[in-house]
Amino acid sequence: MIAAELPGEWDVCCHRVVERFRSKKNDVYRLEVTGSAGHVFSVVGKDFRTAEACRREGRLLGALRDRGARVPELFHCGDSSMIMEYIRGPLLLDVMFGDRALQHIAGLATALGDIYGALDDMEAGMILGDMNLRNFIVREGVGDIFRVDLESVTRGRVEDDVGRLCAFCLSYDPPFTAHKRRLTASLFRSVICWLGLDADVTKLATQAELSAIERRRGVEVPGTIRRAVDRW
């Protein structure tokens, strides 16, 4: 069941799976590890479908972490599994639209700036690809936002990433509410300003992803949402 191997230098006497995380591509879980001296700590184990995917994400985690981006620390990378730091805190999706929304928007803009800067330093033109808010965690007690999945990193325009992010924010359940429209407009303005993006290109990317959402989900995006995006 657990393909990940715990490093021998940790002096582990036992471990158990205490939580499984939602993931379409891989098996991801929180492990509670007990050392021989009795200390207990949590880590995240991730089993990949292919060895190449594991190696690629391991390289990205290490390189981004070395460049100051907020991603989990990689503890061990095996043939097709890895063990990494457990970031304690809620998914950004679960808190993004709550009382501290503006703080989270500012934190996300900062985190994205660091990540894209690090990716560009590694290889120009790289983006995250998957902008689902489930892939971001707000560290408990600190508020820093961490990216926890790098498997979709690819080449592209940052404007396309941010457009997808805005379209997702508008369409999370319950979708297309006035509250989500206002907060997503604030997110759009904050991120394009912080990252120095082309606003018109980002709006076009948002509209394109909204059309993709219509096809995937069989829903119609209200005209009020389309017009609101055009006015951002």
- Assess if residue 2 is contained within a domain: no
Question: Do residue 103 and residue 141 come from a single domain?
Answer: yes
Question: Do residue 79 and residue 153 come from a single domain?
Answer: no
pTM score over 0.85: yes
Cα–Cα distance between 43 and 105 in angstroms, integer?
27
- Assess if residue 1 is contained within a domain: no
Read off the DSSP letter of residue 149. -
Per-position b or e across 11-37, b if 16+ CB within 10 A of its CB: eeeebeeeeebeeeebbbbbbebeeee
Q: What is the pLDDT of residue 5?
A: 60
Question: Do residue 110 and residue 180 come from a single domain?
Answer: yes
Please, which pLDDT band fits residue 223 given cuts at 50, 70 and 90?
very high
Total domains, the chain:
2
The alpha carbon dihedral of 58, 62, 63, 65 has a sign of positive
Q: At what angle do helices 199-217 and 223-231 cross, to 10 degrees?
A: 160
Q: What is the maximum alpha-carbon separation in the chain?
A: 62
Cα–Cα distance between 205 and 211 in angstroms, integer?
10
Residue with the larger pLDDT of the pair 3 and 223: 223
Phi, psi of 228 (to 5 degrees): -65, -45
> Is 70 exceeded by the pLDDT of residue 4?
no
Tens of pLDDT along 43-84?
999 999 999 999 999 999 999 999 999 999 999 898 899 999
Please report, for residues 81, 94, 136, 208, the alpha-carbon distance to residue 87 in angstroms, rounded to integers and kept in the order given. Answer: 18, 15, 10, 33
Segments in 88-175 forming alpha helices (H): 92-95, 101-122, 158-171
Q: At what angle do helices 223-231 and 178-195 cross, to 10 degrees?
A: 30
Question: Do residue 71 and residue 97 come from a single domain?
Answer: no
Q: Give the residue-averaged pLDDT of 28-42.
A: 85
Average pLDDT of the chain is 93
Tens of pLDDT along 138-194?
999 888 999 999 999 999 999 999 999 999 999 999 999 999 999 999 999 999 999
The boundaries of the domain holding residue 22 are 8-85
Read off the DSSP letter of residue 117. H
The residue among 9, 8, 1 whose CA lies nearest residue 45 is: 1
